[in-house]
Chain A
Amino acid sequence: MTDGEIRELCHRFFDAYQDRRVDELAELYAPDCIVWHNVFGREQSGADNLAALPKSYEGQRRRTYDDRTIDTFEGGFVIRYTLAGVQHSGHRGALWICIVALCRDGRITRIDEYMDSSKFAAWAGRGPASGRAS
């Protein structure tokens, strides 16, 4: 895939994720796609990752994938971005994430996602770091 094709795939993927278009995401995952998260340290299939999305979306009012910095290499891309979230309470938080993705024939075959779980409480508006009274 060319640099242009990989970048377009990357944007299409994150735009679909942002807009909660799970059907489109299903088209972008290769059938053998594997997703790994540093926080959990284990792999899951693309199908399992997609299946968990609807419930995951219920957690926030809105999520946007901002400040996307993309570098492409032969067969994939690395993206650094800000995941900005608005919780149902109105609380705004952000996570800073890096993904290394492998691509083939217009689809994603592997995602390795790196996040800092110590930031989850502030993201969700829980605990002293959130600034809330209780």
Chain B
Amino acid sequence: MTDRELRELCTRYFDAIERRDVDAVAGMYAPGFTFWVNLTGAESSREENLATLREGYALLRRRTYDDRRIDTFATGFLARYSVNVVQHGGRRGSFAACIVALCKDGRITHIDEYLDSSKFRAPAGEA
């Protein structure tokens, strides 16, 4: 895939997640897509990841993927970005994240995601 195709795929991927278009995300995953996240160290399947995505939307009012810095390489892309969340109660939070994605024939075949789970917890004293 070319640099342009990889960048467009990366941008479409995050845009689709932002607008909660899980069908579009599904269309970008290759049939054997796998997802690994540093939080659990476990690998999930395409269907498991899509289900997690759907379920996750109910937990927050809004989540956007900002400050996207994309670098491409022969077989995929690296994206560094800020995840900005707004909780149902209105509280806002932001944390840095990164994914390394392998791609082939216009689709994503594997993602390694790196997050910091300490950012998910409310500060001490808050509910």
A interface list, Cβ under 8 A from B: 3-5, 7-8
Contact = CB atoms under 8 A, between A and B. Distances in A.
Contacts of A3: 4, 7-8, 11
13 contacts: A3-B4, A3-B7, A3-B8, A3-B11, A4-B3, A4-B4, A4-B7, A4-B8, A5-B4, A7-B3, A7-B4, A7-B7, A8-B4
Contacts of A5: 4
**Interface-centre pick from A3, A4, A5, A8 (highest chain B CB count, 10 A):** A4
Contacts of B8: 3-4
A113 B11 CA distance: 29
B36 to A, nearest CB: 28
Contacts of A4: 3-4, 7-8
Query: Which 10 A/B pairs are nearest by Cβ-Cβ distance?
Result: A4-B4, A4-B8, A8-B4, A3-B7, A4-B7, A7-B4, A7-B3, A7-B7, A3-B11, A3-B8
A8 B8 CA distance: 13
A133 to B, nearest CB: 42
Given A4-B3, A4-B4, A7-B4, 10 more contacts: A3-B4, A3-B7, A3-B8, A3-B11, A4-B7, A4-B8, A5-B4, A7-B3, A7-B7, A8-B4
Interface string B1-43: 0011001100100000000000000000000000000000000
B72 to A, nearest CB: 10
Nearest to B4: A4
Nearest to A70: B3
B2 to A, nearest CB: 8
Contacts of A7: 3-4, 7
A48 to B, nearest CB: 32
Nearest to B5: A4
Nearest to B11: A3
